[in-house]
Structure 1
Amino acid sequence: MSNLYSYVNVDHPAPKCLATSQEIRDRGSAFVGNVYHASTPEEAKAAISHHRNVVHAGKKAYEISAWRCMVLKHGKSGLGGPDDFEVKAGYDDDGEQWAGSKVSRVMQHEGVLDAVVIVSRWFGGTLLGPARFAHIETCASEVCRTFKRVEEMEECISTLTRLDDMLASLRQELNDLTQNVDLATSGSTSARTASDEIENVKGRRSRQPDYTVVQRDLDITKARRLVGARESAVKSVKSLLSRKRIMLASTEAEV
């Protein structure tokens, strides 16, 4: 009860599993991999404890784990660049000798950082020999690759959010500038054309985009296309702004 309470307490939210591998069964044994975000070895160990005592509470399994975390070196602030950081790595066989190092090598090969990978094995009564390591590595590889996709998706969503904010700011600036042009041209045809242009720009996206489905499905291809579309939109609005500034300057010079 105390373990469960510590994770549902608002001060200690439960670690969130980011990916789970397909289950592998072999002669009664079962293998499943999971990956959690962990920015420090302490977070990694907390996730392992949560996985063992909460997710798999009451289930007798070997919880083979490994973690790799990019952390600040002692006495460093991070302002000195990459040299201020180091990778802290470790693993736990949990009774399955040499298994933890196998998971650690998979993480290193896949370039996974700030994560802990846990491969659970339920022993079916038959010794598998070296085959067990192949199953452990397969499960670890699957969740490591998914973790990398999750990381890329998070980066895409962050970029999209930044571009959406930039577009909103640029469109507001364009709206304000267009109103100034309207006043300067006193309702001329060029002013009406400018108003039409800004209405077209505003109409293309009046609501904040929702990327929930794209993120949930890990649709990296679509996310990249959306980033490209937003970048094109930013370029287009900047071009309109440039034209409006020239138009306003020309109109003011004639007055």
Structure 2
Amino acid sequence: MKVLENIISDRGSRYAVSGGPCQNETEAKAFLKELKRRKKFAKATHNTWACLTDDGPLKSDDGESGAGMVILRMLEREEARNTVIVVTRWYGGKHLGGDRFRHVQEAVRMFLENSGS
């Protein structure tokens, strides 16, 4: 499990990104469970994720509508298979509008660059 914390901050909201190997939905859920063992991540407002597996795409918005699809599209574009990526957001009290999607994209880009995928 690779975790990059405090990578983006905007109007009080803070972002982190994490990821690791994932072959199926069971492994994705296990990854998320392990991540949430860290109290900080369990208390996050959103843990959105996606994974492009051999069985097909998996994603969850976790209340951040559309964010899972943003992650999934980036994984498809980079042909990053069998890797789950989780973008975590701690809501800062101000709505970010469309900027939240830009932040999700930037978080995924940072993870992919730092993992060599």
Q: Trace 1:144-223 onto structure 2 (pairs within 5 A).
A: 144-147=112-115, 149=116
Higher relative contact order (CA 8 A, sep 6+): 2
Contact 1:66 1:116 in 2 (8 A): yes
Q: CA RMSD in A?
A: 1.8
Runs of 4+ more than 6 Å apart: none
Q: Trace 1:131-146 onto structure 2 (pairs within 5 A).
A: 131-146=99-114
- Other-structure match for 1:27: 11
Q: Deviations over 1:127-177 (max 9, x none)?
A: 010001100110011112333x2x6xxxxxxxxxxxxxxxxxxxxxxxxxx
2:94 partner SS: coil
- Other-structure match for 1:45: 29
What are the ranges of 5 or more consecutive residues in structure 1 without an aligned counterpart? Answer: 1-16, 71-86, 152-255
Bigger helix share: 1
Bigger strand share: 2
What are the ranges of 5 or more consecutive residues in structure 2 without an aligned counterpart? Answer: none
- Are positions 1:117 and 2:101 aligned together? no
2:80 partner SS: coil
Separation in 2, partners of 1:18, 1:58: 17
2:44 partner SS: coil
Identity %: 26
Offset, 1:40: 2.0
Structure 2 vs 1, CA of residues 41 and 145 (structure 1 numbering), >3 Å: closer, same or farther? farther
1:49 partner SS: helix
Contact 1:19 1:36 in 2 (8 A): no
2:70 is aligned with what amino acid?
Answer: K
User: TM-score, with normalisation over the residues of structure 1?
Assistant: 0.43
User: TM-score, with normalisation over the residues of structure 2?
Assistant: 0.88
Offset, 1:101: 0.4
